[in-house]
Structures are given as C-alpha cells and as structure tokens.
Structure 1
Amino acid sequence: MRATVKEERCERCECIIGLGCTCPPDGVTPKRHPVSVPPREWRRFPAATILISPTRYAHLPGACAHLTEELVKAPRWGWIPDPPPGLWDRLSSGYPATATEGNTARQAIRRCEECQSAMP
C-alpha cells in the first residue's frame, strides 16, 4: 500500500513547503534563493500582466524568484494581461483586482512583497 503525501503549498509563494518554498515562517520577507539562478524569460505573459494566485496574491511576471511561468496555469491562476493604469498600486482588500483571463473568479487583494520591491 502506498502512502499518499499531500502537497502543502505556501500561501505566499505557491511553492510546495519543503520543496522550493524559501519564505520564512514568520512571513516577513522572503529569503533569496541560496543558489544564484539566472532569471528566465516569461513568454506567455507581457511584463505588465498582473498574475493572481489562488491565495489572492498579485504577482508580476519574472519579478519574484519563487514563481515560474510553468506554475501559472488556469484553473489554479487568473491574470490580467493589460491592467488599467494604477491598478497595481490601488490593489487592496478594499479594491481587489479581478482576473480577466485564466480563472476569472480569482481576485487579488494584496501584492507580493518581492514583486512590489522589483517595481521601478
């Protein structure tokens, strides 16, 4: 009989805890990956796209080290490929961003801190 292991995903980065998640337990600031990995070019999503995770975090393509393009798929994720100007800055629980593509039921109410710090 084979034991079933439930993949527990981090609420912040969506990586499997113990297999890629580098977020600290207290949730302050994610640690940088210990191995320097060159950033991969994202091909399916323009740079301004707002990606919306199942945990209601907004991300930007290529802006954080804990998210890869391969993870961003419907129905788990939603996205806004051409967001209105200023939507990223207004995004909050009082002003959620609703996906226009992928899983259009997804809403983001907070920004990934690593993506936010990568903004110019």
Structure 2
Amino acid sequence: MIQQWYKTNPANLHRGMDIVRIGVALIILMHPLHGYTHLANIPKFGEFLTELGYPFGTALAWLVLLVQTSSSLALLANRFVVPACLGHIVVVCFGLIHVHSHYGWYVVGPGQGGMEWGFILLTSLLGVMWAYWPEKR
C-alpha cells in the first residue's frame, strides 16, 4: 500500500513535539552554560540590565540564567513543561525587545543580530506550551 505522506493530518504528533521541545531546550540551555563558564560576563550582563532601568541588575542576570537552566532541564525531563515554556517565553521576549529589535528582523543576510531566530524560538515555545496545556474537562 502506498503511504500517503502528503496528507495534512500528522501521524506522529508526540514525536514531532518531542523534537521541538528537546531542540529548543538544548538551544536555550547553551546561554546559561556559557554564562556559568564565563562568570566575569554575568556582572556585565547585570550592568546592561541596570542601564535599561531594571533594579538589581546582577541579581536579575543570575535569575535569568537560573530560569533558563531550570526551564531547559524541565523541558528535557518532560516535566513542568507549561511553566518551563512560560519562563523561556518571558526571557526570549525581553531579549527580543531589548536586544534584537534594534537590529531589525534578520539574523544573517540582509541584516545581522535581528529578531528572526528569537521569533522562531518564541513560536516553538508557544507551540510546545499549547500542546501541553491541560484540557478542560
């Protein structure tokens, strides 16, 4: 029998969502791992946050790293997926607003450092969160 791969209904929703969930978790996990291996950059990140008007910049920088770490580990463990997505969504949105929006849309090509990669992460996180959102009964 010929497989009808062109049909619009997905056959493996869970496997597909697992790939997105794990991939996004690994991509975002690289940020705090870099921070932990380059501790001198954390106070600099804190100064940047303070310059933006946020109080307790260095503490907030540590909070961002801890949220990214715990949220990524939760996604990898397939536990607390909705709160983990929410944690990442907050961080990604702040990054898009305060850093990447100033560079335009493109990450490479017509521009550099823009929002497109963050937007892909954001939409992936929203999709994973929606897939794991509890149904009303």
Whether TM-score is above 0.5 comes out as no
Scaled to the shorter chain, the TM-score interval is: under 0.3
Report the TM-score, using the length of structure 1 for normalisation: 0.27
Q: Indicate the structure with greater helix content.
A: 2
Larger radius of gyration: 2
Q: Indicate the structure with greater strand content.
A: 1
